[in-house]
Structure 1
Amino acid sequence: MSLPTGADASTVATSGDAAATAAISLRGLRKQFGDVAAVDGVDLDIADGEFFSMLGPSGSGKTTVLRLIAGFETATAGTVWLGGTDVTRAAPFERDVHTVFQDYALFPHMSVLDNVAYGLRVRGIGRKDRRGRAEQALDTVRLGQLGGRRPHQLSGGQRQRVALARAIVLEPRVLLLDEPLGALDLKLREQMQVELKQLQRDLGITFVFVTHDQEEALTLSDRIAVFDAGRIQQLGTPREIYETPGSAYVAGFVGTTNLFDAATSQRLLGVRAEHAVRPERLRITPTSAEPTTADEIRLDAVVVETIYLGTGNRVHLRTDDGLELVALEQYTGSLDSAAHRGDAVTVRFARADVVPLAAAP
């Protein structure tokens, strides 16, 4: 489903045809826990073969939506469709989905191969067939030589791949992933991100990925739904979400940004509405540098702090009238920042790089 940037997906009407052809369709989905609406009227279509991420902080509703799709929770209202079939009241084992959890949930007393083959055994698949399919699944995640080991003999990344193999051996139409990389260290998590994306492309099945990590969602996804308070605040491609956030919430949650309230926007832009500009769009120059052009905004500021990031420097600034800004200096061959704490500088950015923000739905 294609939405206007910044649109509230829970209020967008969708056709019955979309529900019939999508891998997953949610209509008016709601889940109430006592007085709390954990999911508050979500409409959403996820296409076949799409890598789709649900991004948001703890308590935003993303994991509850995943559990509603899987059948681990029962909807208070609304419907869940899988491949054109209404499965709202179907049991988890009646749905053509499989879930990979953050804790892997491997059987410690079984070999890796037996862990992968377990779901096939439950389905009554013959010993020879399930062994062959399990070995093929392990080969797919590049663990074919480790089938005889026990889970405690594997690294965290290897155990995660075993959990993936156990899921894909069942050949589900949809694979649900509930923060599966959250327990891994940074280097291993980055490696697994690449492997997960390649695996999804090779298999061609729909991945629905839940995460609170913005960079992870931007790296992996074909599309992202940003959640807050049980609703989708914005739905779009990673580029749309990052470059044209639809609200102050999305702009502030996905990456770092400079937010201008209505009064600041009126002073800088002549428009009384909220706006945002990303730190990498800001350029720091000495106060005696080139004059301001008609299509850019110039602010005099003082450098509050400079933080070395390896790939560049993050510079915190304060303008003469107290506006706090963050700029990102990209690495250009010198390890030293052009701006040092206490320096008087000029901050410049193009008017075209300032994004208007809609009120949060």
Structure 2
Amino acid sequence: MSVQQAEQAGTTASGSPAIVLRGLVKRFGPVTAVDGVDLEIADGEFFSMLGPSGSGKTTVLRLIAGFEQPTDGTVQLGTTDVTGKAPFERDVNTVFQDYALFPHMNVLDNVAYGLRVRGVGRRERRARARDALATVQLEHLGDRRPSQLSGGQRQRVALARAIVVEPSVLLLDEPLGALDLKLREQMQVELKQLQRELGITFVFVTHDQEEALTLSDRIAVFHEGRIVQLGTPRDIYEQPGSTYVASFVGTSNLFAPEQARDLLGVDGAHALRPEKVSLVDASGWNAAEPVRVADGVVEARGVIAETIYLGSANRVLVDLAAGPRLVVVEQSAGALARDEHRGDHVVARFALRDLVPVT
């Protein structure tokens, strides 16, 4: 991504960016973990860095926090270059996946610890710690020890400890990874609400695509130390720019250039989201005609290879007579009404306008 693209993508109504990364490189011996990242994150933005393990996202977070120094490039917070500064000299705070709460301190003292290190008087720091706990709805648990809290409560305490010092940027390193699914979904909503209330910049690292889509104003998708796509959740999902993004963020049916040309009559590789495909009965279909394209609609005959019940939806795998396998996601009610089974002959139908060109 070029510097100009990063500048354009980071422009918001709030004006100047909270974070500016220029030519950021980090090498560990022969391994390049971050490979020339240019990025602007707007003030007050909920920004997510999404990618698999080893993609460079956590290293970028550590470079912003000051836990690592770049091999090349600069880190700027607001208008200040902080590239060579220590973590305590940067106006940021970090929430880790393991929360790192002090087991020998009660909740209130855990939250107040950062203020204590900064030399804030006892009365003021305890008052501010109580306010921070109230923000995360835990003011009634100040006297408990971390071991007496649930996972979700410990996560809230870690958030309160991070925000009590009023950083301009809050860095979150997969903070929901240790929670079970239901609690994780609940905390996603609470995190977003908290960020809106505080109005500070959140930078969130995750490998969970749904989490990034749920929480973010914008997402940077990382691959092999680089940002391969930057945009809003809708942009990333609806308009993936590459086969990598199309397959990593959600599920996509990918048509290689030859398949797209022979089956669909379009040039270049294309992606198709499974919810864009519908299934209809194949009775009366000409068996000698595997694919039909007319009036912007593709109809392809196939056989159901598998039906996977997901609760609110069914994932149906269809082996097309023309060759490739399609993944189709349907609402459960519609699929069950047709009583589809493995081996049934069906016709997969989708619009050409729902195909997305990818590289």
Please say if residues 6 and 40 of structure 2, whose CA atoms lie closer than 8 Å, have aligned partners that are also in contact: no
Matched residues, number: 350
* CA deviation string 1:31-68 (max 9, x = no partner): 01111110000000000000000000000000000000
Q: In the TM superposition, what are the counterparts of 1:302-341 in structure 2 within 5 Å?
A: 302-332=303-333, 335=336, 338-341=339-342
Q: Mean Cα displacement is larger for which, 283-292 or 64-73?
A: 283-292
Distance 1:281 1:84 in 2: 45
Amino acid in the other structure paired with 2:300: L
| Deviation readout 1:259-304 (Å, 9 max, x if unpaired) | 0001101113323311000000001001137996411111110000
Which of 21, 38, 45 lines up with 1:43 in the alignment? 38
Cα distance in 2 for residues equivalent to 1:223 and 1:311:
27
RMSD: 1.9
The residue matched to 1:218 in structure 2 has which SS? helix
TM-score, length of structure 2 as denominator length = 0.94
Equivalent-residue separation in structure 1 for 2:196 and 2:326 (angstroms): 40
Matches within 5 A, 1:123-272: 123-272=118-267
Q: Do the aligned partners of residues 345 and 146 (structure 1) sit closer, same or farther apart at CA in structure 2, a change above 3 Å counting? A: same
Q: Does the CA-based 8 Å contact 2:95-2:175 persist in structure 1? A: yes
Answer whether contact 2:50 2:221 (CA < 8 A) is retained. yes
Aligned to 2:354: 353
Aligned pair in 2 of structure 1 residues 185, 311: CA closer, same or farther (>3 Å)?
A: same
Match of 1:91 among 67, 86, 90: 86
TM-score scaled by length of structure 1:
0.93
- Residue by residue, what CA displacement relative to the aligned partner does 1:103-151 show, whole Å, maximum 9, x if unpaired? 0000000000000000000000000000000000000000000000000
Deviation, structure 1 residue 241: 0.2
What is the CA–CA distance in structure 2 between the aligned matches of 1:100 and 1:251, rounded to whole Å?
Answer: 30
8 A Cα contact 2:6 2:39, kept in partner: no
Structure 2 regions of 5+ residues with no counterpart? 286-291
Instruction: Name the CA shift for 1:317/1:261 in 2 (closer, same or farther; >3 Å).
Output: same
Distance 1:58 1:50, change over 3 A: same
Q: How does 1:64-143 map to 2 (within 5 A)?
A: 64-143=59-138
Alpha carbons 1:70, 1:95 under 8 Å: kept: yes
Amino acid at match of 1:169: V
- The alignment-based identity, stated in percent, is 68
Q: Which moved more, 1:321-330 or 1:206-215?
A: 321-330
Distance 1:13 1:135 in 2: 39
Q: 1:237 to 1:322 in 2, by over 3 A?
A: same
**Secondary structure of 2:333's aligned partner:** coil
